[in-house]
Amino acid sequence: MSKLKIAIQKAGRLHNDSLKILSDVGISIDNGKDQLKASARNFPLEIFYLRNGDIPQYLQDGIVDAAIIGENILIENGGNSSIVERLGFSSCKVSVAVPKSTKYTGIEYLQGKRIATSYPNTVSEFLKKNNIQSNLHVINGSVEIAPNIGLADAIVDIVSSGSTLFKNGLKEVQVLLKSEAVLAVSSRISEENQLILNKLHFRFQSVLKGRQSKYILLNAPNDKLERIIDILPGMKSPTILPLAKEGWSSLHSVIHRNEFWEIIDELKQNGAEGILVCPIENMVL
């Protein structure tokens, strides 16, 4: 039986988040210490643990069928691999940073400047788009030190919290792109393995929908139902059940997590009581 080959980061935050989403979709992995390849017990899947920077080449060559990878790495080195789904974790930015004392006037500041980066393709494309000519110094690791040792006037690197920049006397001044983990697919995937990937993708979508949503139950007087239904449209419409207490009903619905507190406040103002909110593990539509 054919198995889908999927690559994930060998170590780091993306590694842990990748294993978590695979666990959340019900995939059990036989993974011993220091293994570079492991099989799933209950799904036709083989996992390859690779260096983040090596994954795009494995995708291009068809050695793996798919990968969970940072979008920034795929854009820099991805070739003809395509994104199937954005996964909503391991968010970061690829940004320009300069010494704190520098007066940054906009992207024109970069004209003729020396830029140190680990993302030459991304930076070159950005500069070309903005008609800026700069001198690139490609550095693998410790890019932040370049301005301090006189190697560069600016850097372009990954920014998460910004603490590393601060410690090295730098400030973020321009965002080139925003990135998150994505499920990517090789252009060389077989038809058989594409079907397996479709099943995995469906599971991912169900988990992601659940992570983005909350299940809400509340009690409300019947004369307030119409207004509360307007607040709580749900996936199609709320479920309404009569309560033993005359003139009252129970409503069940789903709300987006980003709208949670605003909706709760509005529900209370319009007569809702006994509001119960529960996390959703999976949501199959």
Sign of CA dihedral 194, 196, 202, 208: negative
Regarding whether 83 and 205 lie in a shared domain, the answer is: yes
Half-sphere exposure of 13 (CA within 13 A, CB side): 8
Regarding whether 170 and 48 lie in a shared domain, the answer is: no
> Which token pair is 102?
């520098």
Is residue 285 in some structural domain? no
Regarding whether 263 and 129 lie in a shared domain, the answer is: no
Regarding whether 110 and 161 lie in a shared domain, the answer is: yes
Structural domain including 251 reads 213-279
- Amino acid identity for residue 272 in this structure: A
Single residue among 210, 232, 265 that ends a domain in this structure: 210
What's the CATH number where 137 sits?
Answer: 3.40.190.10
Give ∠ CA 243-248-252 in degrees, rounded to 5: 70
Cβ partners under 8 Å of residue 60, min gap 6: 78, 79, 80, 81, 186, 187
Regarding whether 105 and 44 lie in a shared domain, the answer is: no
Regarding whether 185 and 63 lie in a shared domain, the answer is: yes
Is residue 112 in some structural domain? yes
Q: pLDDT in tens for each of the 285 residues of the chain?
A: 799 999 999 988 899 999 999 999 999 987 766 678 999 999 999 999 999 889 999 999 999 999 999 999 999 986 788 999 999 999 999 999 999 999 999 999 999 999 999 999 999 999 999 999 999 999 987 899 999 999 999 999 999 888 889 899 999 999 999 999 999 999 999 999 999 999 999 999 999 999 888 899 999 999 999 898 888 866 567 889 999 999 999 999 888 888 888 888 999 999 999 999 888 888 877
Number of domains the chain contains: 3
Is residue 69 in some structural domain? yes
DSSP codes, 218-274 = EEEEGGGHHHHHHH---SSS-EEEE-SSTTEEEEEEEEEGGGHHHHHHHHHHTT-EE
Residue 272, CA distances (Å) to 76, 260, 278 in order: 50, 15, 16
Single residue among 167, 195, 210 that ends a domain in this structure: 210
Regarding whether 128 and 198 lie in a shared domain, the answer is: no
3-class DSSP assignment, residue 24: helix
Question: The whole model's pTM is what?
Answer: 0.83
Regarding whether 133 and 9 lie in a shared domain, the answer is: no
Half-sphere exposure of 138 (CA within 13 A, CB side): 7
CB neighbours (10 Å) of residue 72?
Answer: 23
